[in-house]
Amino acid sequence: MLTTPNSLKEEHMEIMGSLRSSANFSDGTGRAVKELLKVLEPHFEKEEKVAMPVLGSLSELVSGEHVSNLREIADSQGALLQEYENMFQEHQILKQFIERAKAESKREGHEDVSDLLDALGHHARVEEEVLYPAALLAGTLAKCLLPNQTLQSVT
């Protein structure tokens, strides 16, 4: 069974916990963070379902050892491919909510919230530039490693 790396789960949990605390503020920052969370929570759930689990297999794939769940890894790529463009579009929407919340937090003197929102923006860039492509690459590699597969038959 594919599993999300603990480091990614922990990062999502830390971000969500901090944002939920900030959403309790009774000012514009709290309201803006609540709105952000409405979009972010389902996005994180989608990532944890379709993008992150295959990343847990990267170490095994590059080890040169026998990988017992190649078919599962390869099959997971299909779900990610179906959601890939949507996930980038969701990031664009999230960036708008982040900017609104950041403007409120700066205006109201919540520098810690502003820093958290910067970290969330950075997290999204890491996903776009590294994690999502790595997940697709893992699926492609798994397909190539399946018996009787060639690169031409998996593209």
Within a domain: 24 = yes
Q: What is the pLDDT of residue 150?
A: 53
Residue 64: what pLDDT? 76
Residues 93-107: pLDDT tens digits? 999 999 999 999 999
**What's the CA gap between 67 and 87, in Å, rounded?**
28
pTM of the model: 0.88
Would residue 151 count as lying in a domain? Answer: no
Instruction: Pull the structure tokens for residue 43.
Output: 């996005």
Q: Of 2, 45, 19, which Cα lies nearest the Cα of 110?
A: 19
153 pLDDT higher than 70: no
For residue range 126-143, list pLDDT tens digits in order: 999 999 999 999 999 999
Q: Is residue 83 part of a domain?
A: yes
- 58-83 pLDDT, tens digit per residue, is 988 888 788 888 999 999 888 899 99
Residue 155 lies in a domain: no
Residue 46 lies in a domain: yes
Please tell me the predicted confidence (pLDDT) of residue 155. 47
Total tally of structural domains belonging to the chain:
1
Percentage of the chain surpassing pLDDT 90? 77
**Domain presence at residue 150:** no
For residue 154, is it within any domain? Answer: no
Would residue 119 count as lying in a domain? yes
Structural domain including 112 reads: 6-144
